[in-house]
Chain A
């Protein structure tokens, strides 16, 4: 099988180059159709994400497969770019390297954020599109299905994608969900209209939070955010009452002084009956006096606290990388060995075919000489011949399988062809 990958990623090309080479889903369809017209005997899958544009091609023989330059030119032509302007930004992997690369990408080990979970879905989507446009076939099916299995294995056997590394996901998964069992009955108060707060709210909404109130010094901005989030809007002067009712607070104002001081909080604390209060202070400078976090039932996290956890989780993920790469290498070896062994199949089939012909001729001759043999005895003789043939073939075929582990056993195949006069 001729397998190669031509493309670029955040490792090899600047964002300007990746932007020029990127494909929208519609463009992917058009590109795959064009590819099929240009290279009718080859299969192709096109993966285009924010961080990479990669074309995987596969064909049974080198004559049927496009080479590196042809794929690079195909990419440049599709986007109307000068071939020489993009050629140096494209990298190429073939055979074993291409397989290893795909496994590494699918397992999210080549991602900008190590272990991020979106990439496997993006690879699946790319393969699905290739299937929809009939540019995928048995060769790409085998390698991509194996890649999905490898990604699953890496996720299962390491903790590489277990620890969260974005601030909103850490805030919700590592802290909020450890405080509250359910979010449907919780009052969420949003103070300010920062982007980070909005992103965090999306995570909270995904967990079921719906009772959201937004307040801001500027009522108009609060209304705007409220509309976007489907949340209630409250006046700024109701802040104390809102804090009494709140279970979770996400605050992202641009205030230069704390908007909730310890004295202010102590004044409302008794009215809260020490109900747990989860505060995400994502503002710089901070909106809540840090001393409030010392109060019973208050869990106050600043952006620095969350960043510390993110950095710690990132280090933990990095620690898992060697174990994940061992899995990738194991799986690549296994895949390549299976591929190499597959390449010996035609020779084995022809060898078995010849053997069978000789056996049938000899059996015919023997049964003519022994006409008194019954059907049961004939069957015994037939089986005996078959076992004899299988035993004789067993050792050469085992040698072929062993050699396949290190690559396509061209020498042995050639020797078998010449020794047994096997014709193509």
Chain B
């Protein structure tokens, strides 16, 4: 049964949940909340099984390819959405969070699918590197969603309008805190991800495995991203006005834009990072998944 699950299954479930979230704006329904949660939970369940299957059938280190990291980032965000929609049923957080989930699942399609080769040293540092990169994507995407919600809510309050029926959002205080924390988490995770990447490359270099040079575009890009996150986080912590919601919302939006540019470049530019994409043959189930999507 598990082998029959494709990315299309959970992508479609999240899309239905998003459509239901958007329908709040026009339609009032008593059962929508339950149906929405059902579809989001079904999508999350399908995605969990899909990742489990990939982990158990991987030829290399389980869930170690960028493709898997993207899907895991989407999984974390979907789980976050499910949690928030259970505890804040009246609020339309999904309108902003679910597009992130769908975009990340969509972006996964273009990412490399081959896992890292099985080796204890690579497994340890590769996993650490992957987890931190995943955390950066989750933090930036969540911070961006919270930042956009902040700007929408602040605009309404400035225009002295009552809450739009069906588009109730969390308070500015909650949103500012959430996006501020997301920025700090992104900076810390980005730093640790960069450091673990350097160690992983050094391990590869020492054991005469495939590694990339220090002037590889990925190194410069990662370093620039890290510098941006650190500056943005320090700016938000030490410059008091920057901690106030709107500026944090702009910082998270800029961080998200940079992340998207960085990820797009990593998909387009040739890099030695994690091995060449064209060299490896994708596993059969991965091929089927990308076709399904």
> Which residues of A pack against B, CB within 8 Å?
156-157, 159, 163, 170, 174-175, 177-182, 273-276, 293, 296-297, 299, 301, 305, 308-309, 312-313
- Inter-chain CA distance A163–B174, complex, in Å, is 23
- Determine the residue in chain B with the shortest Cβ distance to A297: B244
Known A157-B30, A180-B173, A299-B158; further 9 A-B contacts with Cβ < 8 A: A156-B30, A178-B169, A181-B171, A182-B173, A273-B240, A274-B240, A296-B246, A312-B162, A313-B162
- Determine the residue in chain B with the shortest Cβ distance to A156: B30
B190 contacts the other chain (Cβ, under 8 Å)? no
**Are B244 and A274 within 8 A (Cβ)?**
yes
Chain A residues, Cβ within 8 Å of B160: 301, 305, 308-309
Q: A159-B28, A179-B171, A180-B173 are in contact. Are A275 and B157 (CB under 8 A)?
A: no
- Inter-chain CA distance A157–B162, complex, in Å, is 21
Chain B residues, Cβ within 8 Å of A308: 160
- Inter-chain CA distance A175–B153, complex, in Å, is 10
Q: In B137-172, which residues have CB < 8 Å from any A CB? A: 153, 156-158, 160-163, 165, 169-172
**Are B28 and A178 within 8 A (Cβ)?**
no
| A174 CB contact (under 8 Å) in B162, B174, B240, B243 | B162
- Inter-chain CA distance A159–B241, complex, in Å, is 39
Q: In B226-253, which residues have CB < 8 Å from any A CB? A: 240-241, 243-247
Chain B residues, Cβ within 8 Å of A273: 240-241, 243-244
Q: Which 10 A-B pairs have the closest CB atoms?
A: A273-B240, A181-B173, A274-B241, A274-B244, A181-B174, A181-B171, A305-B160, A174-B162, A309-B162, A179-B172
Q: Shortest CB–CB separation between residue A293 and chain B, in angstroms?
A: 8
| A178 CB contact (under 8 Å) in B172, B241, B244, B246 | B172
**Are B174 and A276 within 8 A (Cβ)?**
no
- Determine the residue in chain B with the shortest Cβ distance to A162: B165
**Are B245 and A276 within 8 A (Cβ)?**
yes
- Determine the residue in chain B with the shortest Cβ distance to A170: B162
Chain B residues, Cβ within 8 Å of A182: 173
- Inter-chain CA distance A182–B30, complex, in Å, is 28
Chain A residues, Cβ within 8 Å of B174: 181
> Which residues of B pack against A, CB within 8 Å?
28, 30, 153, 156-158, 160-163, 165, 169-174, 177, 240-241, 243-247
- 13 cross-chain CB contacts under 8 A: A163-B162, A170-B162, A174-B162, A178-B156, A178-B172, A273-B244, A274-B240, A275-B244, A276-B172, A276-B173, A297-B244, A299-B157, A309-B162
- Determine the residue in chain A with the shortest Cβ distance to B159: A305
Chain A residues, Cβ within 8 Å of B245: 276
- Inter-chain CA distance A177–B172, complex, in Å, is 9
Q: Shortest CB–CB separation between residue A152 and chain B, in angstroms?
A: 12
Chain A residues, Cβ within 8 Å of B243: 273
Q: Shortest CB–CB separation between residue B231 and chain A, in angstroms?
A: 20
Chain A residues, Cβ within 8 Å of B153: 178
- Inter-chain CA distance A159–B160, complex, in Å, is 21
- Inter-chain CA distance A276–B173, complex, in Å, is 9
Chain A residues, Cβ within 8 Å of B161: 309
**Are B171 and A178 within 8 A (Cβ)?**
yes
Q: Shortest CB–CB separation between residue A208 and chain B, in angstroms?
A: 13
Chain B residues, Cβ within 8 Å of A177: 171
**Are B165 and A179 within 8 A (Cβ)?**
no
Q: Shortest CB–CB separation between residue B39 and chain A, in angstroms?
A: 23
Q: Shortest CB–CB separation between residue B23 and chain A, in angstroms?
A: 16
Chain B residues, Cβ within 8 Å of A181: 170-171, 173-174, 177
**Are B163 and A174 within 8 A (Cβ)?**
yes
**Are B173 and A179 within 8 A (Cβ)?**
yes
- Inter-chain CA distance A301–B161, complex, in Å, is 11
Q: Shortest CB–CB separation between residue A163 and chain B, in angstroms?
A: 7
- Inter-chain CA distance A301–B160, complex, in Å, is 7
- Determine the residue in chain B with the shortest Cβ distance to A296: B246
| B244 CB contact (under 8 Å) in A156, A276, A305 | A276
Chain A residues, Cβ within 8 Å of B241: 273-274
- Inter-chain CA distance A367–B28, complex, in Å, is 65
- Inter-chain CA distance A276–B245, complex, in Å, is 9
